[in-house]
Structure 1
C-alpha cells in the first residue's frame, strides 16, 4: 500500500491527538450500547429476570465494564504509609518467588 504522504508533508499531524480529547470510537460504542438497551429494555428485563442470581450478577458485572471507567489508583494519591505497605508487599513477593 502506498503512503499517501510525502516526506515533510505539512498535512502530517506530528503531535497526534490532543491530550484529553475524547476517543470517538469508545464514545460511539457506549452510545450504541445505550441505544440498544433503551430500545430493548423490556425484553432485556424479561431475560434478566429468568437468570439465576449468580448469572444476574455476572451479567451486571460484564455490563458495567462498558459503562464505567476502570478504577485506577494513582501513586500520587497514596500516603507515605500506603506506599511503604506496597513496597513491603512487593519485596515479600519477590523474595517468595
Structure 2
C-alpha cells in the first residue's frame, strides 16, 4: 500500500475553498480555442447559414463557456441594509409651480 494509516502526506482537510479546479480551467480553455475556430469558420460561411443555425450553435456551445445565471429573490426581512427610498415627484419637476397658459386650458 502506498499510504499507511498515520501517513503525514495524506491531505485530510480536502481542497481549500476558492482553489480553482485545474481540469475545468484547461477544459474551458480548449473549448474557447475550439469555439474561436468555429466562429472564424462561421464568419466565412455566414451567408450560407440561417439565423436559426447560428442561434442553435450559440445555444449549445455557450453554456459550456459561461456560467448560468441564478435568480435571486430578496425579501424585506432578509437584509436590513436596504431601506426604501421615497422620491417626491412634485419636487423633482416642480409640478406645484406649474401654471397653464390660456392656450393650454
Relative to the length of structure 1, the TM-score reads 0.60
* Higher helix proportion: 1
Of 44, 47, 60, 1:46 maps to 44
Of 58, 61, 75, 1:60 maps to 58
Of 54, 63, 75, 1:79 maps to 75
The separation in 1 between residues aligned to 2:38 and 2:56, in whole angstroms, is 19
Unaligned runs of 5+ in 2: 78-105
Once superposed, what is the RMSD of the aligned Cα atoms? 2.6
Higher relative contact order (CA 8 A, sep 6+): 2
Spell out structure 1 runs of 4+ moving beyond 4 A: none
Displacement, 1:48?
A: 5.4
Query: 1:18 — aligned with what?
Result: 16
Question: Considering only CA atoms, is the larger Rg found in Structure 1 or Structure 2?
Answer: 2
Unaligned runs of 5+ in 1: 82-97
Deviations, residues 36-67 of structure 1 (Å, cap 9, x unaligned) = 33455432433555333223212101121111
Relative to the length of structure 2, the TM-score reads 0.57
Evaluate the alpha carbon distance shift between residue 48 and residue 59 of structure 1 in structure 2; reply closer, same or farther with a 3 A threshold: farther
